[in-house]
């Protein structure tokens, strides 16, 4: 065996006995190994070469058309007690889940190669990082894991040193939606995923480990694993303020993480630390410190264009893997919102015909190393992480929710996060455009009962001397004609500036029933075509409709029953009282 870690070698032997692969390959994470796997997948058709003149090192993967998104209804948290998983999760008893999965995995790798993929979530030498090993029969997963995590020999050495690691077992199986499950065993630090090759179901370091299992571990160990981007905002004086922000899937986290300030912000710069996941730890100095456990982006392609996210477009010109995008006549990757060119093949490889729907799948993706990004922050490698001054929650809401407001204090901020809601998108299977509660953007990702998760969030008031301020934003308000009222994208810098000015005590705010909003002249609107009346509408609080929203929030909280922290009900009562 290729490791001195007994537990790992015994597990690999057991899995091989069960799945019966033709051969076992231990992955070292080297360039040579990556090149070998790419060559092999070009041969089998798992990868297709894109135009190597315009996009050197870029490839296209077309997934099974039935396997294009996370499958929340097939994702389970398997704790001994059902209440530990909570109403927010599908639950299955561990023994039942194991026997179901053992049957599916039985002999499933016959004729296939089993890859053993050691990985580290977070900088390899950071005490805040955690390791895992994914066993998979998908070479597509291996090459993606190499971009998304610190994968290979260095991670294995760390596992041999630390001895603790998460065990993830994955097989694409027959890609049969009827034989597909994503199981999590937080008490055993195990993940088992069968029947899907799609990112969030198959790249086990990401949602399965870094959110579901990590959130469970974080509660036990006194930290937080969150569905948040991390950015550093540098002002013309060279001072950097770090913000962590949670938005549901496909609500623009990647765009915000790579924002380019508008021309009216000379000397300002936004640095990207992460676009999806954030691990937050209380530091010795009483502040909250963040690392991005990932090393790459698995971003949504549609909508990524020169006006929405020029940094992302720039980073996708080389060494990227595209999944389910369309291609142009000269074999460049294409998706809706990228350019005016016309695609010739759609995401399924058919001749493009608008009658078949969008050319790129709405949840088509790119995988690329974070180091490709022009706004990449070298602080992403800092073993200590970066200090967080503000936490921002947000959702996609056509009406009611103002452009920005600030919570009164930490406890109120936890209520704001717990009551987040958003219209659904294509990142998960199911209907899109339906408003659903998505607390802290963690609805599909929290590995335990939300009631206890909120209690854990509340406990940080005692763990930190300098609590981050908490904000809520909504870029997605629409007018009566259905047009967006706020320009969004780079212009969101104006809201971020107000947020960091609040953190440094440089600006006052108006108090409303639901929180603080900017005073009418406090948002910098220079060179922006926004009428004062429109801004007023974007910031106004409609007391009557907010009272109804607070009733909905109350119902939502009460679903969590006896374990719900009383503080959240007190907070809800307090706001509801101000609105009546």
Among residues 315, 427, 446, 550, the one that binds ligand OXD under rule CB under 6 A: 427
Burial string for 76-112 (b: 16+ CB within 10 Å, else e) reads bbbbeeeebbbebbebbebeebbebbeebbeebbeeb
Binding interface with Mn ion (CB under 5 A): 249, 276
- How many residues form the binding site for ligand OXD (CB under 6 A)? 6
Q: How far is the CB of 365 from ligand OXD (least distance, A)?
A: 7
- How far is Cα 137 from Cα 168, in angstroms, rounded to an integer? 12
Nearest approach in angstroms of CB 295 to ligand OXD is 15
Decide whether 227 or 472 has the Cβ nearer to Mn ion.
227
Phi, psi dihedrals of residue 390, rounded to the nearest 5°: -140, 145
CA distance 327 to 51: 10
CB atoms within 10 A of CB 461: 14
Angle between helices 566-579 and 543-558 (to 10 degrees): 160
Which does residue 190 touch among Mn ion, ligand OXD, none (CB within 5 to 8 A, set by kind)?
Answer: none
HSE, side-chain direction, 13 A CA sphere, residue 185: 17
| Residue 70 binds ligand OXD, judged by CB under 6 A | yes
Question: Which entry of Mn ion, ligand OXD, none binds 46, CB below 5 to 8 A by partner kind?
Answer: none
Alpha helices, DSSP H, located in 86-124:
94-105
Question: Minimum Å distance from CB 52 to ligand OXD?
Answer: 27
Query: In the complex, what is the shortest distance from the CB of residue 296 to ligand OXD, in angstroms, rounded to a whole number?
Result: 12
Please report how close the Cβ of residue 138 comes to ligand OXD at its closest, in angstroms.
17
Shortest CB 335 distance to ligand OXD, Å? 15
Reported in sequence order, the residue ranges of 459-580 that DSSP labels E, i.e. its strands, are: 469-473, 509-511, 516-518
Mutual orientation of helices 94-105 and 6-19 as an angle, nearest 10°?
60
Nearest to ligand OXD of 274, 402 (CB atom): 274
Q: Which of 5, 138, 171, 249 binds ligand OXD (CB under 6 A)?
A: 249
- 15 or 427: whose CB is closer to ligand OXD? 427
- Candidate list 298, 335, 376, 457; residue touching ligand OXD; CB under 6 A: 298
CB of 393 to Mn ion, least distance (A): 14
Q: Which phi and psi angles does 41 have, rounded to 5°?
A: -75, -25
Q: List the catalytic residue out of 251, 278, 373, 503.
A: 251
Beta bridge partners of 334: 326
With CB atoms as reference, the residue minimizing the distance to ligand OXD is: 249
Which among Mn ion, ligand OXD, none contacts residue 200 (Cβ within 5 to 8 A by kind)?
ligand OXD
Contact assessment for residue 209 and residue 168, using Cβ atoms and an 8 Å cutoff: yes
Q: Which is nearer to Mn ion, 5 or 304 (CB)?
A: 304
Element (H, E) at 155: helix 153-162
Report d(CA 411, CA 393) in Å as an integer: 14
Alpha-carbon torsion 199, 115, 129, 411, what sign?
A: positive
- Of the pair 197, 283, the CB lying nearest ligand OXD is at 197
The residue nearest Mn ion at its CB is: 276
Query: Residue 70 binds which entry of ligand OXD, Mn ion, none, with Cβ cut-offs from 5 to 8 Å by kind?
Result: ligand OXD
- Is residue 200 at the binding interface for ligand OXD, with CB under 6 A as the rule? yes
Give me the least distance between CB of 87 and Mn ion, in Å please: 22
Residues 12 and 35: their CA atoms lie apart, in Å, by 25
Q: Which is nearer to ligand OXD, 259 or 300 (CB)?
A: 300
The C-alpha atoms of residue 476 and residue 399 are separated, in whole angstroms, by 8
Taken as a whole, the chain contains a residue count of 580
CB-wise, 276 or 406, nearer to Mn ion? 276
C-beta closer to Mn ion: residue 276 or 381: 276
Tell whether residue 276 is a contact of ligand OXD (CB under 6 A).
yes
Is 120 marked active-site? Answer: no
CA 490 to CA 503: how far, in whole Å? 21
- Known catalytic residues are 251
Residues of this chain that interact with ligand OXD (CB under 6 A) are 70, 200, 249, 276, 298, 427
């Amino acid at each position: 065996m290729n490791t001195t870690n007994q537990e790992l070698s015994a597990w690999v032997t057991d899995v091989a006995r069960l799945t019966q692969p033709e051969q076992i390959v231990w992955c070292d994470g080297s360039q040579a190994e990556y090149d070998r796997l790419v060559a092999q997948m070009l041969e089998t058709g798992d990868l297709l070469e894109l135009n190597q003149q315009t996009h050197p090192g870029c490839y296209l993967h077309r997934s099974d058309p039935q396997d294009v998104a996370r499958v929340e209804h097939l994702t389970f948290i398997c704790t001994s007690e059902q209440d530990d998983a909570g109403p927010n999760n599908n639950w299955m008893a561990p023994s039942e889940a194991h026997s179901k999965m053992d049957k599916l995995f039985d002999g499933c790798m016959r004729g296939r190669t089993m890859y053993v993929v050691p990985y580290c979530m977070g900088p390899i030498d950071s005490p805040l990082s955690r390791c895992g090993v994914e066993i998979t029969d998908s070479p597509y997963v291996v090459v993606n894991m190499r971009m998304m995590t610190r994968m290979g020999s260095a991670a294995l050495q760390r596992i041999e040193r630390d001895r603790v690691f998460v065990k993830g077992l994955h097989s694409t199986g027959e890609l049969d939606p009827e034989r597909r499950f994503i199981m999590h065993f937080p008490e055993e630090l195990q993940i088992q995923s069968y029947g899907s090759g799609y990112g969030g179901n198959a790249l086990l370091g990401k949602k399965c480990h870094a959110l579901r299992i990590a959130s469970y571990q974080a509660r036990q160990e006194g930290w937080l694993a969150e569905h948040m981007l991390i950015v550093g905002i540098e002002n013309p004086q060279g001072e950097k303020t770090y913000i962590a922000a949670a938005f549901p899937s496909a609500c623009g986290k990647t765009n915000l993480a790579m924002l380019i300030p508008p021309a009216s912000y000379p000397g300002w710069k936004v640095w990207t630390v992460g676009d999806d996941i954030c691990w937050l730890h209380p530091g010795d100095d009483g502040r909250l410190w963040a690392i991005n456990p990932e090393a790459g982006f698995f971003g949504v392609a549609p909508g990524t264009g020169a006006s929405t996210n020029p940094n992302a477009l720039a980073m996708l010109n080389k060494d990227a893997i595209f999944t389910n995008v369309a291609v142009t006549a000269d074999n460049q990757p294409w998706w809706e919102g990228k350019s005016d060119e016309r695609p010739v093949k759609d995401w399924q490889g058919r001749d493009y015909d608008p009658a078949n729907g969008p050319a790129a799948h709405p949840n088509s993706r790119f995988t690329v190393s974070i180091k490709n990004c022009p706004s990449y922050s070298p602080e992403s490698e800092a073993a200590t992480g970066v200090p967080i001054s503000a936490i921002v929650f947000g959702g996609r809401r056509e009406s009611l929710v103002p452009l920005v407001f600030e919570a009164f204090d930490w406890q109120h901020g936890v209520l704001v996060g717990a009551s987040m809601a958003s219209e659904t998108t294509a990142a998960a299977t199911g209907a899109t455009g339906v408003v659903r509660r998505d607390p802290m953007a963690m609805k599909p990702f929290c590995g335990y009962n939300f009631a206890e998760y909120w209690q854990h969030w509340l406990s940080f008031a005692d763990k930190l001397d300098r609590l981050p301020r908490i904000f809520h934003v909504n870029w997605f308000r629409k007018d009566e004609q259905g047009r967006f009222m706020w320009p969004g994208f780079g212009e969101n810098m104006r809201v971020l500036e107000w947020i960091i000015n609040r953190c440094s005590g440089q600006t006052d705010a108006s108090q409303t029933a639901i929180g603080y909003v900017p005073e009418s002249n406090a948002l910098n609107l220079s060179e922006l075509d926004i009428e004062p009346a429109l801004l007023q509408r974007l910031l106004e609080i409609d007391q009557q409709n907010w009272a109804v929203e607070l009733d909905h929030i109350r119902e939502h909280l009460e679903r969590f029953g006896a374990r719900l922290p009383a503080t959240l009900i007190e907070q809800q009562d307090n706001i509801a009282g101000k609105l009546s």
